[in-house]
Structure 1
């Protein structure tokens, strides 16, 4: 019998992940049966269980895939010339939502809906919550290091902690995913333009309007 190459195995695993992600984005984790997934990817039970032992393992693999890709996108964007946080956040979101993860879905709401499903699943799955929590801590620390560098350069005020700003940026990214999961009409560039407007908010001092530094 011919030996199956690792490339073939990886491609088949990706086929399963993409197909399951489409099913879960459409109907949610618990309304989607394993037969739904098998029909989506055109595989038998035996072929599927060669790659994943259970539905929970499949869900964890999808969550890990999304988060790992997001982290790598952040790392790649952060290696470029120093960028303001709003610009960097825009590059990260473009990198994720213009990627193969999004291309696996037939409509622009697919990936955001999948991401929201993953978040909801953490409320009942402690292992998944711990998995994403560890990744989230790493992302938060990476953002904080970047903010600290800006503060040392005098580009960001130091009266707010780097960790608070880092966490806020992560929350903004999550809000963007939720907005698009529900309505699908909020563009990355619109988000960044809005953030830039907030960052340039004017202050009123002694009846005079002055643009904040």
Structure 2
């Protein structure tokens, strides 16, 4: 029997995860069965179960992949000198995630809901989330060391607020429809400008 290449195995695993994510985003975790996933990816049960033991393992793998991707993005950014400002970095990260498709905004809301009732998924989420927080704390410290951000506030609190901003934008996408990433970027730029002395239109109205 011919040996299957690692590239083939990786491509098949990617096919299964993408198909499952599309099903979950479209119909939710509970309304999606493994049979639905098999039909979506057009594979036999044996082919799918070679990679994943069941639906819960598939969900966990998808969640960890998204969190790992985000964590690595910010780890790389923290090593740059100076790192990209928050509006640019968060916009870039969100754009990268949304470009992957797979109904990410709907999927993340489904994950949050499932996490409340599934202890195993909750543990996976907590582990992945703490890794993301760690990466973002490193980024905040890089901002502080570069003089781009106040250094008298705990980096952990700033990092969690930045994460909440990205999560909130994803939730808006899921609940109210697509929004361009520029909305997030412009909103962050406006918040970042508070306290800065600027001669904008409001300052010139009384001239």
Q: TM-score, normalised by structure 2?
A: 0.86
1: CA distance between counterparts of 2:31 and 2:112? 16
Residue pairs, 1:85-164, within 5 angstroms: 85-98=86-99, 101-102=100-101, 105=102, 110-164=103-157
Q: Which residue of 2 aligns with 1:9?
A: 9
Partner of 2:84: 83
Separation in 1, partners of 2:122, 2:177: 26
Bigger RCO of structures 1 and 2 (CA < 8 A, at least 6 apart): 2
Q: 1:185 aligns with which of 178, 186, 190?
A: 178
Aligned partners of 2:74, 2:150: CA distance in 1, in Å? 23
Secondary structure, counterpart of 1:67 in structure 2: helix
Which of 167, 171, 174 lines up with 2:164 in the alignment?
A: 171
For structure 1, the 5+ residue unaligned runs are 204-208
Secondary structure of the 2:185 match is helix
Q: Give the conservation status (yes or no) of the 8 Å contact 2:25–2:107.
A: yes
Match of residue 42 from structure 1 = 42
The answer to whether the 8 Å contact 2:133/2:160 transfers is yes
Post-superposition shift, 1:8?
1.4
CA-to-aligned-CA distance 1:27-80 (integer Å, 9 cap, x gap): 000101111111111112222211111111111111112212222222334444
Instruction: Tell me by how many angstroms 1:184 deviates.
Output: 2.7
Measured against aligned partners, the alpha-carbon deviations of 1:154-189 in whole angstroms (never above 9, x if no partner) come to: 332234322111110000000011011122332212
Corresponding residue of 1:206: none
Deviations 1:134-153 (A, max 9, x none): 22222222222322333344
Aligned twin of 1:198: 191
Distance in 2, matches of 1:141 and 1:202, equals: 28
Provide structure 2 residue ranges, at least 5 long, that are not aligned to the other structure.
197-201
Measured in 2, the distance between the counterparts of 1:64 and 1:141 equals 15
Distance in structure 2 (CA, Å) of the matches to 1:153 and 1:62: 35
Tell me, yes or no, if the aligned pair for 1:38 and 1:48 is still in contact at 8 Å: yes
Task: Determine helix, strand or coil for the equivalent of 2:150.
Answer: coil
Name the count of aligned residue pairs: 198
Residue equivalent to 2:25: 25
